[in-house]
A and B are shown apart, each in its own frame.
Chain A
Amino acid sequence: MTDTWIVIVGLAVGTFAARLGGIVLGQRLPTSGGWARTLNALPGTLIVALVAGQLMQGSWNEWIAGALAAATAFITRSLVLTMAVGIGAVYLLRLNI
């Protein structure tokens, strides 16, 4: 089996287990306290870690485009606009004109 199929099957099983787990465990999951805060914070900390890693592996072009995308996200909260500004900015910056 290739790496890609391993990831597809593994992620499918893990994701369904998480979704079903919430329904089955339901009442027994902590809604407050340290573990609840950790689980609750995890998506945000992973996303900013990913963005930070991607920018650090890029050049000034990516940092500038990232800043423009962040400003767009902050003002508009629109996925489509943020993606458009980010892609457009990085495209123009890489033209080096």
Chain B
Amino acid sequence: MTPTVEFRSGLREILPLAAGVVVYGLAFGVLAAQAMMGGLQTGAMGTFVFAGAAQIIAVERLVAGAGAFAALVAGIALNLRLILVTASIRDFFVGRPWWQLALGAHFSTDENWAMTVAARKAGRDVGYWHLIGGGAGLFAAWLLSTITGVLFAATIPDPRALGIDFAFTAAFILIARTLWQGQRDLAPWSVSVGMVALALWSGLLDPSWALILGGIMGAAVAGITGND
């Protein structure tokens, strides 16, 4: 398959997923407006971070008044998984020039990674440019929807009254559903939720650090007690 054909098929196949990203992106824009971000900051974040869930978690923490450090730690912790994402497709990058390495790394997200890996498992001869095609579609959808959201948010007097503040709780519930890998997640997830409950009800930690502590303790339980 030539790069052009591969790119186009990646772009075409990501469209249904990009539609979901648009909804998510519009809601992110409303959240960004609550953090007093404008079109420039929202566009810069989407362009240079390009990681939806981490952007949401970080900006949500900023809105909650947690401060830059806690917001950054939460966002980066969530993105550590990307090491595993790109490591699993490292053969796509062998022998490529540096700019293709940088582009491919930046365009690797959960959605187009899953799409290209699934296409290969189905026996199709696709790789790097299929991933890039999907990434380009997601990038365009993410930038357009988040910037539209933040500019449009100025016309919504009170997002809370419309229930829009609940958009991400709902989105994260869906993400949790897709991340659930079965029985072996039960103990780590229970520990994570238990730590958050303990930290919040005791009042010893603010919500940002409760979240980080819960996530790390839960993951540690998976590392210590699980087996492969």
Contacts and interface: CB of A to CB of B under 8 A. Distances in A.
Q: How many interface residues does chain B have, given as a range? A: 35 or more
B210 to A, nearest CB: 6
A5 B101 contact: no
B87 interface: yes
B161 interface: yes
Contact of B48 (A8, A20, A35): A8
Given A14-B75, A49-B218, A37 B174 contact: no
A89 B175 CA distance: 19
Contact of B87 (A25, A47, A77): A25
Contacts of B83: 18-19, 21-22, 25, 29, 39
A97 interface: no
Interface stretch (B52-60, B114-122, B137-145, B148-156): B52-60
Q: How many interface residues does chain A have, given as a range? A: 35 or more
B76 interface: yes
Given A15-B49, A46-B77, A86-B163, 14 more contacts: A15-B76, A19-B105, A22-B88, A37-B223, A37-B226, A38-B223, A41-B221, A45-B191, A45-B216, A48-B193, A57-B200, A78-B174, A80-B19, A83-B170
Interface of B: 19-20, 23-24, 27, 35-37, 41, 44-45, 48-51, 53-55, 57-59, 62, 67-68, 71-72, 74-88, 90, 93, 101-102, 104-106, 108, 161-164, 166-181, 185, 188-189, 191-193, 195-197, 200-201, 207, 210-212, 214-224, 226, 228
